[in-house]
Structure 1
Amino acid sequence: MPLGADLHLTGYLEEGPYGLLLRSGGGVWELDARRPSRRLIGCEVEVTGQRAGFNGIVCDQIWPAGQPRPGRQGLGLRLNVEYLLTAAFVGYGLIALLFGLAGHLH
């Protein structure tokens, strides 16, 4: 399922049956988040990420509410797995084509 719009929510972080949950504005969001976020269970947090499905969020960042947003880790790039797989298949196809053409020339 493709990712939806960027979200920025504030709520309370909880442990759910399948991972982390964010209770925000009367709703419950299922979070796809990194393990270090578990240290914030029970705290009010801010979450940024993309909506995935009905009530899922693929998280970019989670930090304590009311604090400045932390700097982005790494290069700050968000790479979609589908794009990476597509690029790999296209690259493989091009290499196979080049080797096939080179074999016919010799």
Structure 2
Amino acid sequence: MHDLQMIVHKIISERIKVDEQMQVATIIDKLPNSWKEFQKGLRHKQSKLSIINLVARLQIEEEDRKQDKKNEALANNTYANHANILQGNSNANSNGAKKWNQG
């Protein structure tokens, strides 16, 4: 996004008029590789997107990605805790009582 901001500031400072659809296309092309699938969807709709709509979609996608990361981390943590519980229970006999190893 920093590169995009630099380009925008340069265009503004030079007082260059740029068509809104060109701006939308440029922003879409500047998205990171990790956004490739989202980028493809935007390209099909770019002729109908305004800058305001594009920014709103980008913000929503960014929030969704953050939430997905949180959910993934939570799921991984839950899985690890579940594995630890199962490993701790592996010392139990069929009645659920702990087996004690005597030296």
Asked if these proteins are the same fold (TM beyond 0.5), I'd say no
**TM-score normalized by structure 1?**
0.40
- Structure number with the bigger relative contact order (C-alpha 8 A, sep ≥ 6) is 1
**TM-score normalized by structure 2?**
0.41
Q: If each structure's helix is expressed as a fraction of its own residues, which one has the higher value?
A: 2
Task: Indicate the structure (1 or 2) with the bigger Cα radius of gyration.
Answer: 2
